[in-house]
Amino acid sequence: MSNIEELRDSTTPALPARDTGHQTCPRPSGRPLAILDFEASCLVNRGMRSFPIEVAVGFPESGEVRSWLIRPEPEWLEAWTWDPEAERLHGLSRDYLLANGRPRSEVAQELAAALNGHEPLSDNPAYEQYWLWGLFGQYPGFRIGSLGELFQQIAGGGLAGQAMLELASAHAREKAPLRHRATADVKHYLVMLRELRRLAGEDRMDSNPSG
């Protein structure tokens, strides 16, 4: 992930390196959280222009998860990158997305409505912000905060905090494994957040999305 160049395009933002992703947005307090995850046509890397193909959002307070398949735009298929290796990971073909995906504008509108009043967080805000920009075709009007920062805040520092993070991560891998699909990955982070809050004695979730 370190060989990322600035992407100079009128419809996409320049993308920072992965390890600075948490700097995209300091996380304000007071709003309910939403966990966001995209699947895409390829990794955002040198020489590649990646477009979003699936997005999911999960709400920790209720456990609800919503997801959308995104129909590729003609310009994406003509000039942007489709990586067969990425397709093997997420299992979504171009033909399947064209037949079953929703128009980009509809997904953007419904996602914006779902996120209204929430604080969106992701495990990798820089990349999710890039795909969010691609979905909306412009700056969407909000930025994505760091889920990792929240996890660290709940767990605390030192060896005890690191041990808590490892326990919560192991629990999430068992109960809701990451599968390179947006819904599954959002559920993974919802389970990890719930477990972290339980371990820290501050469980505020009302339901568990995957048991």
Interval 44-92: pLDDT, tens: 776 688 999 999 999 999 999 999 999 999 999 999 999 999 999 999 9
Structure tokens at 172: 């999430």
Q: Does the structure show a pLDDT above 60 at 16?
A: no
Give the pLDDT band (50/70/90) at residue 29: low
* Residue 7 or residue 47, greater confidence: 47
pTM of the entire predicted model: 0.82
What length does the chain have? 211
* Residue 116 or residue 45, greater confidence: 116
What backbone torsions phi and psi does residue 154 show, to the nearest 5 degrees? Answer: -70, -45
> Do the Cβ atoms of 58 and 180 come closer than 8 Å?
no
C-alpha to C-alpha distance for 186 and 178, rounded to whole angstroms: 9
Q: What is the pLDDT at residue 149?
A: 96
Sheet holding 52-58, edge to edge: 65-69, 52-58, 33-40, 119-122, 145-146
Q: What is the pLDDT at residue 23?
A: 38
C-alpha to C-alpha distance for 151 and 165, rounded to whole angstroms: 7
The chain-wide mean pLDDT, for the chain, equals 84
Which regions of the chain does DSSP assign to beta strands (E)? 33-40, 52-58, 65-69, 119-122, 145-146
Q: What does the pLDDT average to over 117-144?
A: 94
Give the pLDDT band (50/70/90) at residue 147: very high
